Structure 1
Amino acid sequence: VVTKHNGDYPTHYPKADFLLLGKIILTSIPPLVLVMLQNDLGSTLVFIAIIIGLVLISGVSWKIILPLFTGVAALGGTLLILVVYNRDFLLRLGFKPYQFSRIDSWLNPYGDSGDTSYQLIQSIKAIGSGKMFGKGFGTSEVYVPVRESDMIFSTIGENFGFLGSCILIFIYFLLIYQMIRICFDTKNEFYAYIATGVIMMILFHVFENIGMSIGLLPLTGIPLPFISQGGTALLGNMMGVGLIMSMRYHYRSYMFSEEDEDFK
């Protein structure tokens, strides 16, 4: 973002901010549209989370970001209200009935015995049955559909209980915290954009997967990073973490070379 200095405080050019926003949005549209055409709501939300992270770190003025995010939140709230009170209008816009069923199971999981509600109910039962310390590794007595991938957190909650689930969440917190530190330590704008995309990808996967397993968020096809079954997701997450580790390595190499030059 192009800035000019007025005393001690930099002043943003609004035109440059809008230009940067336009570049981020334009480069994000092609992959976002391709994923939406596959009716993959989960991956679409991941792309949106990455875009939000890039906008937040881009340095765009809050006078632009705040109204933009407020409008997006208002749009989401309006769609949720229409799902509850006026679904015919959304059907004419191209929404699918299965998307409504996910919202129904989220708002009232015990009000319907359909497939989506059944999966959520069983997940809540499995997590609750684990109690504080769990039933032990490999002891899964409550049947949960797709427990090996999307609903893997229900297995963790049942096997290792509340304590084991908290330890897992703490490990994710440490991972994301270390990646954020690398993002700030490198002091490189290009590296910061890449690291932010990887951080938002992993953060949203963790938040959405655990949230939908306990009924906090609607069900979507989102795996839990490094744990859910699926080689492609594991490979993608490992590549992302590897990129950030490479940034840290190159930054340290650069700092050591600078120190050597100063010593000479």
Structure 2
Amino acid sequence: MVKVENKTSIFDRIAWNIIIPVALLAIIGLYSIYVAATNDTNSMGSPVRATVMQLVWYLISIGIVIFVMQFDADQLFRIAPYVYGLGIFLLIAVLFLYDRNTAASTGAKSWFKLGPLTFQPSEIMKPAFILMLARVVHDHNQKYDHTIRNDWLLLGKIIAWLAPIAILLKLQNDFGTMLVFFAIVGGVVLVSGISWKIIIPMFAIVAILGTVVILLVTTSEGRQLLSHFFKAYQFDRINSWLYPSSGTSDSAYQLWQSMQAIGSGQIFGNGFGKISVYVPVRGSDMVYSVIGETFGFVGSVAVILIYLYLIIQMVKITFDTGNAFYSYISTGVIMMILFHVFENIGMSIDLLPLTGIPLPFISQGGSALIGNMIGIGMILSMKFHNKDYMFSTAGDF
């Protein structure tokens, strides 16, 4: 196989159709954090300081994107086990070195404390797992034909690489983040070539189990049964989702206030920077309520359309590369971002239970931003290193 390098300029090799929507979301994020801080100086501090701090995280993440996009498919394939191993090491380390104050307020032992900053290693584990998962699937498909037996073997490999992460996240009490990894696996399995004779029953079982859990939490007997598997604060979030107006817990109050804020924006919003409803943790988990209150239904939908455009452009770049390994990476990144968007917006409007999952590129914080930007860096790498292939089949490097 012969690789023929593209002779286009560096400017033309950059996927501006990815960078522009991400930049727009970042600008919306800075605006939302500033506005949220003006209404919550007790927990967020000075609005200027909160905004500048987030701007610093954006600048750091831009540097990380530039660094990641220098790696081509061969290099990403080779480093996958090392970054996966590093991620596992950090997930183990945080179990012993987690910040006690954050654990007391969130119920999750998933944060390091580094001076005034906190860091969540599971956010970095997401792109690391995507990379490793892409390598496992690509390597398997290069060695084996697609038979039912071999497809079960591939599924077993995927579960084997997921299992350590799921166990460590369970020990951290971080069920919300675990759901993101399940979403990533679900997306990659769909494009991995595994037979639909396996996929359809598997997804049907997951759907049935999810329905059973939802039915169980609506009864006292069911909650008693599930108490052996879930923590009290997780039940609190489910109850808040079912009865948001009860106001019997912090979660219910947070959700109800978010709904009130978004509803108060009506069609066109209350105006630039104008908020009057107090929403706890508004700069991160409930940042979508800032958009809904100030820009209304129109602004809320506009943000969703930006995300939709970003996802579509990611898919287009993936098809343009004609590289199977890249397609698995892209699918993982798309599922990661898509699940974050769906869950965060869903919990802000009481469509889904609270999980503490941030809104990509908008929510306050550095860990999630860096994790998402690593994913963007891998997507940008696809076009930056896109090559024309002679005498090759789709899926080879």
1:201 to 333, 336, 340: 336
- 1:52-76 CA-to-partner distances (Å, cap 9, x unmatched) read 1111111111111000011111111
> Displaced runs of 4+ in structure 1, greater than 6 A?
none
Tell me the amino acid that sits aligned with residue 89 of structure 1: L
1:100 aligned partner: 235
- 1:88-133 CA-to-partner distances (Å, cap 9, x unmatched) read 2222x33212212211111221234321111111000000111111
1:82 aligned partner: 216
1:8 aligned partner: none
* Contiguous gaps of at least 5 residues in structure 1: 4-11, 259-264
Query: Is 1:239 aligned with 2:374?
Result: yes
Tell me the amino acid that sits aligned with residue 318 of structure 2: C
- 1:138-170 CA-to-partner distances (Å, cap 9, x unmatched) read 211000000000000001100111111111110
2:395 aligned partner: none
Query: Is 1:139 aligned with 2:274?
Result: yes
Report the Cα offset of residue 239 of structure 1.
1.4
1:192 to 324, 327, 338: 327
- 1:8-49 CA-to-partner distances (Å, cap 9, x unmatched) read xxxx41011101111111111112221221111211111111
Q: Report sequence identity in percent.
A: 60
For residue 145 of structure 1, give the secondary structure of its aligned residue in structure 2.
coil
Tell me the amino acid that sits aligned with residue 266 of structure 2: K
Report the Cα offset of residue 211 of structure 1.
0.4
What do you get for the CA RMSD once the two structures are aligned?
1.4
Alignment length (residue pairs): 246
1:262 aligned partner: none
2:202 aligned partner: 68
Distance 1:69 1:230 in 2: 33
- Greater relative contact order (CA < 8 Å, ≥ 6 in sequence): 2
Distance 2:285 2:246 in 1: 22
1:148 aligned partner: 283
* Contiguous gaps of at least 5 residues in structure 2: 1-140, 391-397
Distance 1:104 1:28 in 2: 29
Tell me the amino acid that sits aligned with residue 246 of structure 1: S
1:34 to 168, 183, 186: 168
1:158 aligned partner: 293
Report the Cα offset of residue 184 of structure 1.
2.1
Normalised to the residue count of structure 1, the TM-score between the two structures is: 0.89
1:115 aligned partner: 250
2:259 to 99, 107, 124: 124
Query: Is 1:250 aligned with 2:370?
Result: no
- 1:168-189 CA-to-partner distances (Å, cap 9, x unmatched) read 1100000011111122222212
Distance 2:238 2:365 in 1: 26
Distance 1:164 1:202 in 2: 20
Distance 1:149 1:111 in 2: 23
Distance 2:284 2:247 in 1: 24
1:218 aligned partner: 353
- 1:196-222 CA-to-partner distances (Å, cap 9, x unmatched) read 111111000000000000010001111
Distance 1:146 1:112 in 2: 16
1:49 to 183, 208, 227: 183
For residue 364 of structure 2, give the secondary structure of its aligned residue in structure 1.
coil
